């Protein structure tokens, strides 16, 4: 029955994106990405940045179906999750339309959504499977503070990696698939239904976003995915003692590590952590590993190069999600995975920056433009 929610969400999201793309000429003056800085922009021409509308609409349409099929108790949880997500989404949508970074407004909206989640459902981090920290989490204020930091951090992390066609959406889908699987495995139908619903909404959007880049998530869409995966991860661990707290960490390790490493890099350079730069892992993959049409000024070539970048990062994300899904109740295995993933990330990043990337990782297309890079 969970597949029904996935299908309905997919169809609704697909249809909303179709309308947004079809009538882009009527709203692109305020929904397009034409005012983004060159550091943030990697696409040609104004493209709608309001894909988050499709995700929210799909989730909303599924609500009556959940009530009809699952009953009031589960539908209530689903509705409250949606309510808590709204301020987060609206904060991002405001940035997408105004095309300016409203840092204080953004953080206030995120914090408001997390606090609303805690107030309405009491979903919060109550254990981290580390003795010296678990004692502190017995104090509710500490638990709330850690939950606030963790969820807001993941929301921003998913937005940070949103740089290429299909990147954030596919990473979110991989994580949601794991959440749905573990939810079913431990008998938590609420988590699995919520996960497959958002998964379906992402799939409907993905058709239009990758590889053609006809519509983008925007800040609102990235925030919805970030809020969704982090909230469900917190809820799954809290409601099911058999699921290790490290499962949630390893599950989202790629965006988490990318964000922490980015903050550290910017602080080391005495730069503001909130300012955009061009040194993220996905940007290095784009510039130095994806050699498709390097040097070509053709729009189609640049778009193909853009879209071929994302699968590299899907694979990297899967290297933590798959082990997390296998050893979801094995703390030692999860901790080992976390250490190996971080070491692998640092090795890959350093290799790319030092021009020592293994040749088998570099995609090349044999064409005259390759000579321009030599």
CA dihedral for 218, 258, 100, 213, sign (positive or negative):
negative
Six token digits for residue 351: 């290799």
Beta-bridge partners for 290? 363
Task: Give the DSSP H/E element, type plus range, for residue 363.
Answer: strand 363-364
Whether 362 and 370 have beta carbons less than 8 Å apart is answered as no
Q: Where are the alpha helices (DSSP H) in the chain?
A: 2-22, 24-31, 52-70, 72-98, 103-121, 131-134, 140-160, 167-185, 189-209, 218-239, 245-251, 253-268, 281-284, 299-326, 331-353
d(CA 113, CA 88): 6
Whether 357 and 288 have beta carbons less than 8 Å apart is answered as yes
Nearest one of 357, 368, 365 to 291, comparing CA atoms: 365
Six token digits for residue 72: 């009031």
CA angle 151, 53, 63 (to 5 degrees): 80
d(CA 279, CA 283): 6
DSSP-derived secondary structure for 251-305: HTHHHHHHHHHHHHHHHHTT--TTS--S-SHHHHIIIIIEETTTT---HHHHHHH
Q: From the annotation, which residues make up the binding site?
A: 159, 219
| 3 state DSSP class of 100 | coil
Q: From the annotation, which residues make up the binding site for Mg(2+)?
A: 159, 219
């Amino acid at each position: 029955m969970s597949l029904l929610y996935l299908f309905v969400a997919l169809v609704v999201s697909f249809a909303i994106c179709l309308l947004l793309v079809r009538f882009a000429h009527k709203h692109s003056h305020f929904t397009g990405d034409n005012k983004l800085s060159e550091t943030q922009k990697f696409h040609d021409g104004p493209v709608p940045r309001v894909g988050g509308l499709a995700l929210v609409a799909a989730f909303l349409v599924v609500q009556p179906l959940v009530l009809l099929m699952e009953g009031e108790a589960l539908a209530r949880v689903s509705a409250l999750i949606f309510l808590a997500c709204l301020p987060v989404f609206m904060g991002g949508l405001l940035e997408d339309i105004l095309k300016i970074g409203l840092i204080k407004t953004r953080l206030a909206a995120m914090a408001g959504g997390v606090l609303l989640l805690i107030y309405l459902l009491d979903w919060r981090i109550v254990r981290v499977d580390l003795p010296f920290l678990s004692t502190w989490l017995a104090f509710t204020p500490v638990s709330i503070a850690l939950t606030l930091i963790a969820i807001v951090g993941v929301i921003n992390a998913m937005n940070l990696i949103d740089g290429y066609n299909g990147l954030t959406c596919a990473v979110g889908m991989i994580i949601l698939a794991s959440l749905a699987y573990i939810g079913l495995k431990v008998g938590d139908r609420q988590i699995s239904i919520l996960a497959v619903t958002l998964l379906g909404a992402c799939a409907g959007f993905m058709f239009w976003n990758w590889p053609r880049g006809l519509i983008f998530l925007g800040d609102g869409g990235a925030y919805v995915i970030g809020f969704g995966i982090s909230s469900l991860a917190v809820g799954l661990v809290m409601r099911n003692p058999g699921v290790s707290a490290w499962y949630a960490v390893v599950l989202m390790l790629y965006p988490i590590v990318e964000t922490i490493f980015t903050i550290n890099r910017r602080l080391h350079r005495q730069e503001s952590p909130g300012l955009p730069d061009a040194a993220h892992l996905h940007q290095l993959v784009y510039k130095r590993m994806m050699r498709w049409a390097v040097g070509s000024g053709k729009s189609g070539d640049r778009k193909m190069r853009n879209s071929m970048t994302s699968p590299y990062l899907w694979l990297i994300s899967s290297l933590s999600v798959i082990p997390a899904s296998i050893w979801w109740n094995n703390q030692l295995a999860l901790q080992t995975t976390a250490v190996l993933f971080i070491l692998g990330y640092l090795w890959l990043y350093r290799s790319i920056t030092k021009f020592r990337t293994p040749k088998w990782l570099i995609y090349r297309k044999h064409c005259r433009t390759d000579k321009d890079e030599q």
